[in-house]
């Protein structure tokens, strides 16, 4: 039986990871991951909801992601709800109970989408202007020494930015709930579009050095490429 995703993924932001000139990165987000063969109906239902009065009263933004290249994973889309703080999360989700537009959207999605994931993440590192990104590399990993990995990751990001190899948003998330032996952390790096994302495919010296440093504490389970379908 087809079901709408009811899983919520929250991630906390380390405020010192964002430079003053960069966009304000949400403290929390909810990610709904699903499988559908009718992208148009799902996107239309969410777009209609985004135009409703009750959605406009919610302090949140909505982004629909297409899982463009993800190997044998059966998830086709992710819907990301972003919030400035914990109060915004509570306010937004409390609104659903009395929102007819959401009930109508739920009815469509329950027929057109299958629920696939349920994980809770916390952001360990974040930076860049994710609102300008149209495509992302996403790494699903198992990390055994988080502190060492975070230090190496922050050094890598600084080097990639300095060399002009990273111009979009980036981040490192810890799985806070729903972790398994394959995936304990997720990292991502964005670009304005798929063409820009693929323009720097050759690894830099900093990246090769990074791989050597984390080889004994990290195992990459999957590397995906996701693209932004819509911002609502």
Residues 80-105 pLDDT 10s: 888 777 888 889 889 988 899 999 99
Residue 7 has pLDDT above 50, yes or no: no
Count Cβ atoms below 10 Å from residue 182 Cβ, excluding itself: 11
Residue 4 has pLDDT above 50, yes or no: no
More confident residue, 185 or 179: 185
pTM: predicted TM-score of the whole model, two decimal places: 0.80
Measured distance CA(32)–CA(64) in Å, rounded: 9
Question: How does the average pLDDT of the chain come out, rounded?
Answer: 84
DSSP β-bridge partners for residue 175: 121
Residue 17 has pLDDT above 50, yes or no: no
Q: Calculate the alpha carbon distances from 194 to 55, 70, 189, 197, 210 in Å.
A: 30, 15, 12, 5, 24
Give the per-residue pLDDT at 23. Answer: 60
Please choose, from the candidates 133, 26, 148, the residue with its C-alpha nearest in 3D space to the C-alpha of residue 85: 26
Residue 112 has pLDDT above 60, yes or no: yes
Residue 22 has pLDDT above 60, yes or no: no
pLDDT tens-digit profile of 138-156? 999 999 999 999 999 999 9
Three-class HEC string of the chain: CCCCCCCCCCCCCCHHHCCCCCCCCCCEEEEEEEECCCHHHHHHHHHHHHCCHHHHCCCCEEEEEEEEECCCCCCCEEEEEEECCHHHHHHHHHHHHHCHHHHHHHHHHHHHCEECCCCEEEEEEEECCHHHCCEEEEEEEEECCHHHHHHHHHHHHHHHHHCCCCCCCEEEEEEEECCCCCCCEEEEEEECCHHHHCCCCCCCHHHHHHHHHHCCCEEEEEEEEEEEEEEC
Give the per-residue pLDDT at 134. Answer: 96
Give the per-residue pLDDT at 1. Answer: 40
More confident residue, 75 or 121: 75
Give the per-residue pLDDT at 36. Answer: 93
| 16 pLDDT tier (thresholds 50, 70, 90) | very low
More confident residue, 48 or 5: 48
Give the per-residue pLDDT at 20. Answer: 33
Residue 207 has pLDDT above 80, yes or no: yes
| 21 pLDDT tier (thresholds 50, 70, 90) | very low
Give me the sign of the Cα torsion angle 93, 97, 98, 100. positive
């Amino acid at each position: 039986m087809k079901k709408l995703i009811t899983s919520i993924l929250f991630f906390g932001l380390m405020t010192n990871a964002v430079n003053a000139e960069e966009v304000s990165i949400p403290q929390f987000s909810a990610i709904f991951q699903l499988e559908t063969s009718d992208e148009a109906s799902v996107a239309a239902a969410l777009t209609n909801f985004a135009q409703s009065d009750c959605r406009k009263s919610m302090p949140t933004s909505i982004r629909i992601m297409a899982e463009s290249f993800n190997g044998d994973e059966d998830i086709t889309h992710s819907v990301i709800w972003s919030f400035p703080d914990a109060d915004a999360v509570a306010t937004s989700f409390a609104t659903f109970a009395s929102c007819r537009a959401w009930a109508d959207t739920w009815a469509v999605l329950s027929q057109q989408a299958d629920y696939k994931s349920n994980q809770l993440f916390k952001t360990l590192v974040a930076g860049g202007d994710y609102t300008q990104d149209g495509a992302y590399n996403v790494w699903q990993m198992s990390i055994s020494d988080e502190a060492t990995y975070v230090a190496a990751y922050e050094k890598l990001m600084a080097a990639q930015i300095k060399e002009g190899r990273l111009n979009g948003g980036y981040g490192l998330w810890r799985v806070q709930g729903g972790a398994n032996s394959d995936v304990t952390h997720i990292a991502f790096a964005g670009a304005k579009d798929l063409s820009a994302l693929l323009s720097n495919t050759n690894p830099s010296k900093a990246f090769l050095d990074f791989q050597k440093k984390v080889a004994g504490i990290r195992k990459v389970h999957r590397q995906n490429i996701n693209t932004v379908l819509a911002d609502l």
